[in-house]
A and B are shown apart, each in its own frame.
Chain A
Amino acid sequence: MIVAGVGYRNLRDHSFGVEVTDRLESASWTDDVVVEDLSYNPIAVVQRLEDEPSEQRFQRAVVVAAVERDGRPPGTVAAYRWDGVLPADEEIQRAVTEAVTGVIALDNTLVVTRHFGALPEEVVVVEVEPAVHEFGDTFSEVVGRQLDGVCELVRVLATRADAVAQLPRAPLGGPSSAGVRAP
């Protein structure tokens, strides 16, 4: 299984996914868990995932990122099993184009990697709603407060199938209420 962060370094709250993987990389894991920063061109992410030997392809992914969604207070954490439903071809094409022209975003990464069949069947998404979008290496207070809890949540989701099973299955963006923790 792979634990992956997606985001940008030095972009305050939008560095959340990267920070989580930075912290978890140094934790002790069983041999079947890989922790990796996938904050790069999603086409290259497809190619990286496809490089795993067929008998060792990842069975599950836990992907962490800060994502702006309508109507969520900053600092909200949403954890869900992605239903894997892809958008229309036009949207996928847009995602591929943004991928190769340098846009790094959770939705793009998931859509592109799913479209090309590189993503594991089971994908757990952990999102945090960012408060600020600007250059800097510190989190806003409301997002920074979630860091320890999200690291622990990801550790549990990476190691306990029963915890994953309790999460709601939802489209990108997550369910409106279930699995969501208020800031």
Chain B
Amino acid sequence: MCFKNLPIEFDAQGKPYLRAGVANPYAPTTTAPRGAPAQLTAENVEQLLRRNGYIKELDFDPVTRVAGALAFHTVADFNARKVIEARSMATLFRGYEVIMVGRDPRDAIYITSRACGVCGGVHSVTSAMAIEMAIGCVPPPLGILIRNIALALEFLYDHPLHLHLLAGPDYSAAMVGPTNPSLLARARSSEAQHAEIHGFRTIGELMDDLNPLSGKLYLEALHMTRVAREAYVLICGKYPHPQTIVPGGMSSTITLSVMNEMFVRVAQFFDYSKKLTAIWDDLTDFFYTANPAYKQVGARRAHMIDTGIFDHPEAYDATYANAAAWGDRRWATPGVIVDGELVTTDLHRLNIGVEEFVEHSYYEEWSGNGQRQRFPTDPAGHPLSPYHPWNKVTKPRPQGQNWKEKYTWDTAPRWDRQSMEAGAYARLWNSAVARKLPANPFIESTGTSLKLRLPKGALPEMEIEWKVPDVWNAFERNRGRAYCTAFTTLIALNNWMAAMDRLKLGDTRTSTPFEIPKRGEQLGVGFWGAGRGYLTHHLVLDRGAVANYQIVTPSTWNASPTDRWSQPGPYEEAVLNTPLLEETDDPKQFKGIDILRAIRSFDPCMPCTTHIHTDAGVITREVNTCACGVDDDGG
């Protein structure tokens, strides 16, 4: 059964409809998520804090991809060594949805790119795809292939950056030594299983080179970001805000020379991928063996969502009607995973299950009070919630922070009313289980794993295998991201080879001319992805101008707050399940490393320079927002 909470059923042809007899099918009281974890109420937490000296607030501010954009509030029980309350706060208003209204849709390609300083290009392409769908414009095959390569190159910038600049230092000697000295001592005498691949004899040596600023792995990651960036600018002009993305393809001129220059750079990721996967396999195995409690760090239900990415030029026609068909032929399969089970790969089902809620967000409700739901169905006639992005209206309402009411600029997206996470690993998981990948010599989907055959570089040709994990936690997220670097490299290689075939045929066309219709209303959606996963732009055009524009990013999902049913967002849930494994009993000495590992494993794109405040007042960075969580009314 695809939906277990929303009252959506399917007819014999698989077309969804709302179950008969449900008076108000999308009312929050009608359909609450079943079996979801729940946060303690703010009142419960206050009582615990008042009664027990060993229960303390522990705040992190900022924790984010850009300074100040994410803060995290926790309440920890230092006797039980666990977190009892977790609140994720996006502290900046994004506002692109508001900026876009009334504009020419083509502006979205350049404006929404600025949503991110790491992966602006993914927003540009997602915008272009939403426009393509709205106006009926299909890119030529080479345009699709080059767009795929561009996306892969963005990931090859992002994944090393996250693994060895952002998350990596959490596992470095410089960090493990002060928090867990016995663990570092053990690492120094633990042989690394894959020394012949990555070159580190012991785990301790590996941890030394994860040290920030000076470690070889840190410096190598900086270099690899350059390699990917150089390849990207060959086809996109600039990084991270490309200049060649257009509705209907790319405006780049693709020549054999450009292709060769790209290949030289993509090929450098053959060996780098072997090394990354070996490193994260060894690190993960070491921590699990040293203390099995590490399997609980960042653990949560394996609930994931991903739109799939990398279109097949024979399948993609930019229509919503055929989205389920072209989605199934993507190089990374779309899908929704609930409790580790793939429940659908159908982009229509994925889309109609998405809702955004704002009970704990600094926005006003846009539904209810007799307001008309603008789109009761999607363009294919499938039912849509009033909380669906096509129906959503962004109504910012800044106000004070209050755990019982509003505390974040993020909304709470839910699929079938469940808290889902996005990430590189979601695309691995979907692709491994669904067995729908195009035939190719490098990647094999087995139903339980992905086999990745990396060509020879300085290291020999090698087959590596990512297996669907039996636990879902911070370590598996990082390991998955390392394997996703290999997966992405091979997708780039496959698309590079297909692009070369087009050039050999003399087919150099990369874009299709288009016009923006000046009459009527059109809907479009870009189903695409960032390095961190799921990305959609929902667009409504009215007489040639943007009437509504809604962006849901991976961090919208992952950093989402607790919802109206007390179900925590993914960061919050992962932190609530995280044991505090530091080797100190003194809360004043506590650094919160396991909590930070849990948060950073989602790739929130923020450094370890996170400010941490305990009751002892340890501050490592100037505070630019208040994450104290103290409500004005004491509530």
Write the residues of chain A forming the contact surface with B, with a CB cutoff of 8 angstroms: 41, 43-44, 47, 89-94, 96-98, 100-103, 115
Q: Is B165 interfacial (CB-CB < 8 Å)?
A: yes
**A115 to B620 CA separation, bound complex (whole angstroms):** 20
A103 contacts B67, C-beta separation under 8 Å: yes
Q: Could you pull out 26 A-B pairs where Cβ atoms are within 8 angstroms?
A: A43-B222, A44-B226, A44-B229, A89-B212, A90-B609, A91-B609, A92-B213, A93-B213, A93-B607, A93-B608, A93-B609, A94-B609, A94-B621, A96-B212, A96-B213, A97-B165, A97-B166, A97-B608, A97-B609, A98-B607, A100-B165, A100-B222, A100-B225, A101-B65, A101-B117, A103-B117
Q: How far is the CB of A98 from chain B (nearest CB, A)?
A: 6
Q: How far is the CB of B69 from chain A (nearest CB, A)?
A: 10
Chain B stretch 193-231: residues in CB contact (< 8 A) with chain A: 212-213, 222, 225-226, 229
**A90 to B175 CA separation, bound complex (whole angstroms):** 12
Q: Which residues of B contact A115 (CB under 8 A)?
A: 213
A94 contacts B607, C-beta separation under 8 Å: yes
Q: Which residues of A contact B166 (CB under 8 A)?
A: 97
B606 contacts A97, C-beta separation under 8 Å: yes
Q: Which residues of A contact B65 (CB under 8 A)?
A: 101
Q: Which residues of B contact A91 (CB under 8 A)?
A: 609
A98 contacts B67, C-beta separation under 8 Å: yes
**A43 to B222 CA separation, bound complex (whole angstroms):** 8
Chain B interface size range: 20 to 34
Known contacts: A94-B607, A96-B213. The answer to whether A101 contacts B66 by CB under 8 A is yes
A101 contacts B606, C-beta separation under 8 Å: yes
Q: How far is the CB of B540 from chain A (nearest CB, A)?
A: 24
Q: Which 4 A-B pairs have the closest CB atoms?
A: A102-B117, A97-B607, A94-B609, A93-B212
Q: Is B161 interfacial (CB-CB < 8 Å)?
A: yes
Q: Give the nearest-CB partner of B222 in chain A.
A: A43
Q: Is B118 interfacial (CB-CB < 8 Å)?
A: yes
**A43 to B225 CA separation, bound complex (whole angstroms):** 9
Q: How far is the CB of A38 from chain B (nearest CB, A)?
A: 14
Q: Which residues of A contact B226 (CB under 8 A)?
A: 43-44, 47
**A43 to B157 CA separation, bound complex (whole angstroms):** 13
Partner of A103, one of B66, B169, B609: B66
Known contacts: A94-B621, A115-B213. The answer to whether A101 contacts B609 by CB under 8 A is no
Q: Give the nearest-CB partner of B174 in chain A.
A: A89
**A43 to B116 CA separation, bound complex (whole angstroms):** 17
Known contacts: A98-B607, A101-B65. The answer to whether A90 contacts B118 by CB under 8 A is no
**A118 to B600 CA separation, bound complex (whole angstroms):** 30
**A94 to B66 CA separation, bound complex (whole angstroms):** 11
Q: How far is the CB of A28 from chain B (nearest CB, A)?
A: 28
Chain B stretch 539-579: residues in CB contact (< 8 A) with chain A: none
Q: How far is the CB of A7 from chain B (nearest CB, A)?
A: 14
Partner of B165, one of A92, A96, A103: A96
**A98 to B161 CA separation, bound complex (whole angstroms):** 12
Q: How far is the CB of A85 from chain B (nearest CB, A)?
A: 17
**A70 to B255 CA separation, bound complex (whole angstroms):** 52
**A92 to B165 CA separation, bound complex (whole angstroms):** 12
Q: Is B134 interfacial (CB-CB < 8 Å)?
A: no
Q: Is B248 interfacial (CB-CB < 8 Å)?
A: no
Q: Is B605 interfacial (CB-CB < 8 Å)?
A: yes
Q: Is B327 interfacial (CB-CB < 8 Å)?
A: no
Known contacts: A96-B165, A115-B213. The answer to whether A101 contacts B608 by CB under 8 A is no
Chain B stretch 568-626: residues in CB contact (< 8 A) with chain A: 605-609, 620-621
**A47 to B240 CA separation, bound complex (whole angstroms):** 16
**A91 to B212 CA separation, bound complex (whole angstroms):** 11
A102 contacts B116, C-beta separation under 8 Å: yes
Q: Which residues of A contact B240 (CB under 8 A)?
A: 102
Known contacts: A43-B222, A94-B609. The answer to whether A100 contacts B213 by CB under 8 A is no
Q: Which residues of A contact B222 (CB under 8 A)?
A: 43, 96, 100
Partner of B118, one of A47, A93, A101: A101
Q: Which residues of A contact B116 (CB under 8 A)?
A: 102
A-B contact sample (18 more), CB < 8 A, given A92-B213, A94-B607: A43-B225, A44-B226, A47-B226, A89-B212, A89-B213, A90-B620, A93-B169, A94-B609, A96-B222, A96-B607, A97-B166, A100-B222, A100-B225, A101-B117, A101-B605, A102-B120, A103-B66, A103-B67
Q: Give the nearest-CB partner of A93 in chain B.
A: B212
**A98 to B621 CA separation, bound complex (whole angstroms):** 14
Known contacts: A90-B620, A93-B607, A96-B165. The answer to whether A102 contacts B66 by CB under 8 A is yes
Q: Give the nearest-CB partner of A90 in chain B.
A: B609
**A97 to B607 CA separation, bound complex (whole angstroms):** 6
Chain B stretch 97-117: residues in CB contact (< 8 A) with chain A: 116-117
Q: Which residues of A contact B67 (CB under 8 A)?
A: 98, 103
Fill in one digit per residue for B456-482: 1 if any A CB lies within 8 Å of its CB, else 0. Answer: 000000000000000000000000000
Q: Give the nearest-CB partner of A115 in chain B.
A: B213
Q: Give the nearest-CB partner of B607 in chain A.
A: A97
**A43 to B166 CA separation, bound complex (whole angstroms):** 15
Q: Give the nearest-CB partner of A89 in chain B.
A: B213
**A94 to B67 CA separation, bound complex (whole angstroms):** 9
Q: How far is the CB of A113 from chain B (nearest CB, A)?
A: 13
A100 contacts B118, C-beta separation under 8 Å: yes
**A174 to B605 CA separation, bound complex (whole angstroms):** 31
Q: How far is the CB of A123 from chain B (nearest CB, A)?
A: 20
Q: How far is the CB of A132 from chain B (nearest CB, A)?
A: 17
**A166 to B390 CA separation, bound complex (whole angstroms):** 62
Q: Give the nearest-CB partner of A10 in chain B.
A: B114
Q: How far is the CB of A177 from chain B (nearest CB, A)?
A: 25
**A93 to B211 CA separation, bound complex (whole angstroms):** 10
Q: Give the nearest-CB partner of B238 in chain A.
A: A40
A100 contacts B66, C-beta separation under 8 Å: no
Among B116, B117, B161, B620, the most chain A Cβ lie within 10 Å of the Cβ of B117
Q: Which residues of A contact B118 (CB under 8 A)?
A: 100-102
Q: Which residues of B contact A94 (CB under 8 A)?
A: 607, 609, 621
**A91 to B611 CA separation, bound complex (whole angstroms):** 12
Q: Which residues of A contact B620 (CB under 8 A)?
A: 90
**A100 to B607 CA separation, bound complex (whole angstroms):** 10
Q: How far is the CB of B93 from chain A (nearest CB, A)?
A: 14
Q: Give the nearest-CB partner of A48 in chain B.
A: B226
**A94 to B609 CA separation, bound complex (whole angstroms):** 6
**A92 to B621 CA separation, bound complex (whole angstroms):** 12
Q: Which residues of B contact A98 (CB under 8 A)?
A: 66-67, 607
Q: Which residues of B contact A93 (CB under 8 A)?
A: 169, 212-213, 607-609
Q: Which residues of B contact A103 (CB under 8 A)?
A: 66-67, 117
Q: Give the nearest-CB partner of B157 in chain A.
A: A100
Q: Which residues of A contact B229 (CB under 8 A)?
A: 44
